[in-house]
Chains A and B, each alone.
Chain A
């Protein structure tokens, strides 16, 4: 997860590349449209790929992403119970570069000049854009005393996932696992409940611990999704579920958490393993650029253009349309955005009736999974995306072994559609 900075770019930034100063610039008569995508997760990586797949030689596409490898949060709860490793969930941008001809820059964006249409990178160099697509994912809202290097969130996959896994693997029979569920909206709605089930199953059935306790502290009034199914699973595992719990502070060394349930008096819980998933907001870049309202970035869902700036589009978990924040959904939004951006370069209006969909398989043990799916449509009256009416959305299925196998087909094609 190291940041790669091109030494050449650095030299240029430091003014050591003197050739540029000595030679006159060639007069440029025409310029291909340059589309810059920031963030190489499910939304950003899909957008870059589809822009080049559909725009071909007519556009230049540059993807700016700090890391050279991406670890998928999708399926990452299966690292906790040894069914997967983070290596299995790791992807690179080699196809983006070699197959699609996308310019890869491994750096982060420091600032955006909306007027000049220039982004400045951490290393000081600049990249011009005609259209800018921002997909920075989520940031966490700070919790007093929380040090995620000690009390992991494991809500961005990779180092954090393995940190939590290592802590779980040190648990003994009778130990306590406490996790929090952030207030909606947050990344991957079923994810926290799925995690509680997977960990409870692992402790009980893989480790053979009969006296471990799993406690779920939910900021929401009830389980936010697949409610009846997860309640049934929690009951089966003997998971202690508490709703309307707000987190006041964390002691990261003592692994204790101060909470208030239903607005009541403060209560301190101490746990062998504490997994605090904080409340969430749009990526910092969007706040710095003044593109947020509340915690998220408002956009027009026809083209995902910011309602607060021209030629800047926001997709994935940071955007504020109310569609679920999840990898499959981010991939879906990216295609609508890519099509609209390419159309806009030719002065064409976006598709007036775009559809997106979400689908998510959730493991609840090492051998069974449920699923959840929905299709969204554009409502021209409200200007918002909504569930297609009268279709029974969100549709869901009970956990089965067959769904567990299907989960890998779903993820396999989603991964390939994004990274291959």
Chain B
């Protein structure tokens, strides 16, 4: 266990910090290397002293890149994170020097809001981030190399980027702006990520049955898209817990909940909820016809048909003209105006937007009929 004494905040100016730049490995790492997580996402850019930039996102995914040493004091970096996902940024200077590395979580100020949760769907340029380079210049009460309070910067926040205030942040339980990985829960001078025994119960985390969070990011392994924060999504990672044993041969850990990135939904941000006519009524069709009218089996999908077709069908059911007694019974429950409203909304739903593509749908059809 490393112990360092408490440090006092220095009054060094940003200019002096800049002058000290030069340490640390600033080699560029291409995060699109084979196997690395490649989100369809938004690019965060900026310049820093020689630095490792990490992003921790609420789905448990992890991204990192080193800044590029271009000979200047302000090294550029570019990191792609998932679009529309809440992420924390952490920057480490002197990252290759264990005794002098400085870990600085980043907060963003936007207007009166200060938060460490960045959610962007567009390129976001942080500008220059004035990170400390000298360990004596930071406030680090427990000597774990992590600054006690995040560095707040005030870049221009573009439309499509939201600095998010939440009351529950899985990545930062105590909402102090220091992500869980860089907290020191047991206060032993080692932050959780490098601490082999986070709860000081004498049982190493790897053997600790009460540890449901291998990478200490706060996201339960059940829901963690990258259980070991190695930058490879679990569904592409042959060794989810990074113990050197391939998942198929590994008794102690394999993520049964590997999820494909294709199911991730991009949300349209809504600052004001507006009433969408017909949608609530149409949602009452979903119990039998699937979410947004997209059936997952051989029962009819009702998304993507024209409103006129849907209305005509419902009216035929209502008249008893079709031999579909359960739809006849349901059709009697809705007025013509209601049928027109729900049909108009369903007509806006494209079947191809479904999470279940044609192939999946066909497979489901077969399995439903075959197995059941």
Contacts and interface: CB of A to CB of B under 8 A. Distances in A.
Contacts of A20: 174, 176
A239 interface: no
Nearest to A339: B280
Contact of A357 (B149, B297, B333): B333
B112 A29 contact: yes
A58 B273 contact: yes
Interface string A399-420: 0000001101110111011001
Interface stretch (B8-16, B36-44, B45-53, B264-272): B264-272
Contacts of B283: 50, 335, 339
Interface string A1-18: 000101111011000111
Given A392-B329, A393-B333, A416 B296 contact: yes
Given A7-B199, A414-B288, A357 B176 contact: no
Looking at chain B's contact residues, is the secondary structure mostly helix, strand, loop, or mixed? loop
Say whether chain A's binding surface is mostly helix, strand, loop, or mixed.
mixed
A26 B176 contact: yes
A259 to B, nearest CB: 37
A409 B59 contact: no
A353 to B, nearest CB: 8
A412 B174 CA distance: 40
B201 to A, nearest CB: 9
Which of B152, B174, B218 gathers the greatest number of chain A CB atoms within 10 Å? B174
A112 to B, nearest CB: 16
A355 interface: yes
A294 B221 CA distance: 42
Nearest to A5: B210
B288 A410 contact: yes
A393 B328 CA distance: 12
A101 B287 contact: no
A58 B275 contact: no
A7 B198 contact: yes
B265 to A, nearest CB: 6
B174 A346 contact: no
Contact of A104 (B111, B223, B264): B223
A124 interface: no
Interface string B344-369: 00000000000100000000100011
A29 B111 contact: yes
Contacts of A342: 273
A127 interface: yes
B284 A356 contact: yes
A12 B247 CA distance: 32
Question: Which among A19, A22, A56, A351 has the highest number of chain B CB atoms within 10 Å?
Answer: A19
Nearest to B205: A7
Interface stretch (A91-99, A213-221, A278-286, A310-318): A91-99
A68 B218 CA distance: 16
Contacts of B355: 99, 420
A396 to B, nearest CB: 9
A65 interface: no
Given A392-B329, A416-B291, A22 B141 contact: yes
B299 interface: yes
A388 B114 contact: no
Contact of B59 (A101, A391, A420): A101
Given A50-B283, A98-B263, A356-B284, A16 B149 contact: no
Contacts of A356: 284
Contacts of B149: 23-24, 26
A343 B359 CA distance: 37
A355 B281 contact: yes
A351 B274 CA distance: 12
B325 interface: yes
Given A16-B199, A408-B368, A412-B368, A29 B113 contact: yes
Contacts of A395: 325-326, 329
8 contacts: A6-B213, A8-B213, A19-B178, A29-B165, A57-B164, A374-B333, A393-B333, A417-B287
Interface of B: 58-59, 84-86, 107, 111-115, 119, 141-142, 148-150, 152, 162, 164-168, 170, 173-178, 180, 183-187, 198-200, 210-213, 218, 220, 222-223, 225, 257, 259, 263-265, 267-275, 279-281, 283-284, 286-291, 295-299, 325-326, 329-330, 332-334, 338, 355, 364, 368-369, 372
